[in-house]
Copies of this chain bind each other. A is one copy, B any other.
Amino acid sequence: MLLMKFTALVTLAAVALTFVFSGKVGMMRRRYGVEAPAITGHIEFEKANRIHYNTIEQLVLFIPLLWLGSSVIGDVPAAGLGVVWLVGRLIYASGYQRGADKRGPGMIITMLASFGLFLAVVWGIIGELIA
């Protein structure tokens, strides 16, 4: 297997978590009678939908940063930042579902993890350029 195993594990976890959030949207659809293709109609559905979509927004930034980052700082450090990202998403989702005003802390943790990976890649590129 060519890939870095802890980075792959975090990738799987991030994909699975996003999938779980999408499953919750479907569940909320049925529970509150929001018929597809509508994406509005009940506040609990809308919050679940925004949790899912915000996670996709973050995921599409995170996966490229994670994969590039792991080649700069190594498998375990990159995966460590990935775990921070996962924890941030869990805090975000549980906060947001309780109330839209409680979505801040999880969002900040998510962003810090991605920003750490971003800096790692910047570092790696600078290292390449001056090498």
Chain A stretch 50-69: residues in CB contact (< 8 A) with chain B: 50, 52, 56-57, 59-61, 63-65, 68
Contact-size category for A: 35 or more
Interface of A: prevailing SS? helix
Q: Which residues of B contact A56 (CB under 8 A)?
A: 56-57, 60
A8 interface hit (Cβ, 8 Å): yes
State the number of copies, please.
3
The answer to whether B63 touches A37, judged by C-beta atoms less than 8 angstroms apart, is no
Pick from B5, B39, B46, B118: contact of A16, CB under 8 Å: B118
CA distance A3 to B70 in the complex (A): 10
Q: Which residues of B contact A19 (CB under 8 A)?
A: 61
